[in-house]
Copies of this chain bind each other. A is one copy, B any other.
């Protein structure tokens, strides 16, 4: 697992440096943040995950400020632990230092997409005034005791109206193929799209999906999966039920799903900045 490689590398190198910054994609940063926080509990070095919501080749990129703020925070404070540094606002003024195990990406595209969930920020860096503020004390009382093991035989089921008990059957299978999962999942999805409408929606809740931005998205698009755009997962789920219920074939259901029936989807989102 990648999380284990990252954690082991940090464990090996941590005494050589005053602090460690890790560049990370934003979609899975909350998962990695949680994994590292657990594996490296009580670490006596500051580790900050930094991502960017806009690529560094765009004038609106948040990459430089997030990176600078993370470095300044490591240099000027005695922070120890695993943190994430991202924009606090949509302007280039303030970055938040957030506990890496209490964050969530709450918007697909905004620079201030990351929020702490049920927790306080560690601090902030004012980019314009070059000033740091500490907002909550980090608990440094835990002894450092790295533990890298993971059991990845874990399913994830979304409980929701209309759920069928049979969905749980696969959980009992314990033998998984260890080959390249990405490709296999894409193949399965492709098979499924032959007899079903498959919709991809964003876990972010706010914002909208866009499968044209990255390679991975384009590959999913090729399998025949369609996008929920600005509809969050639960809404897309009910809309799909209804679209298929209109009695047409799969193509017709797909056409219905993609069209704006009752104001549930717009081509341009408000608050999309």
* A149 adjacent to chain B (CB < 8 Å): yes
Q: Please state if A118 and B173 are interface contacts (CB–CB under 8 Å).
A: no
| A254 → B minimal CB distance (Å) | 13
- Cβ contacts under 8 Å, A139 to chain B: 263
A187 CA / B187 CA spacing, docked (Å): 32
Contacting residue for A168 out of B41, B171, B188, CB 8 A = B188
Measured CB to CB, the closest approach of chain B to A163, in angstroms, equals 7
A170 at the interface (CB under 8 A from B): yes
Query: Which residues of chain B are near A235, meaning CB under 8 Å?
Result: 30, 34, 101-102, 117
A interface residues, tally (CB under 8 Å): 91
A142 at the interface (CB under 8 A from B): yes
> A142-B262, A235-B102, A241-B151 in contact; A167/B168 too (CB < 8 A)?
no
Q: Quick check: A238 and B192 within 8 Å, CB to CB?
A: no
Name the residue among A31, A42, A149, A164 with the largest chain B CB count within 10 angstroms. A164
Cβ B150 vs Cβ A242 within 8 A: yes
Is A232 at the interface (CB under 8 A from chain B)? Answer: yes
Over the window 109-151 of chain A, the binary record of Cβ atoms lying under 8 Å from chain B Cβ atoms (1 yes, 0 no) is: 0000000011110000000000000000001001000010111
Other A-B pairs, 11, CB within 8 Å; known A153-B164, A171-B192: A28-B161, A31-B234, A34-B264, A106-B205, A118-B231, A149-B247, A150-B242, A156-B160, A158-B203, A164-B181, A168-B185
Report A's interface with B, CB cutoff 8 A.
1, 28, 30-31, 34-35, 37-39, 41-42, 82, 99, 101-102, 104, 106, 117-120, 139, 142, 147, 149-173, 176-177, 181, 184-185, 187-189, 192, 195-196, 200, 203, 205-208, 230-235, 237-242, 244-247, 261-264, 266, 269-272
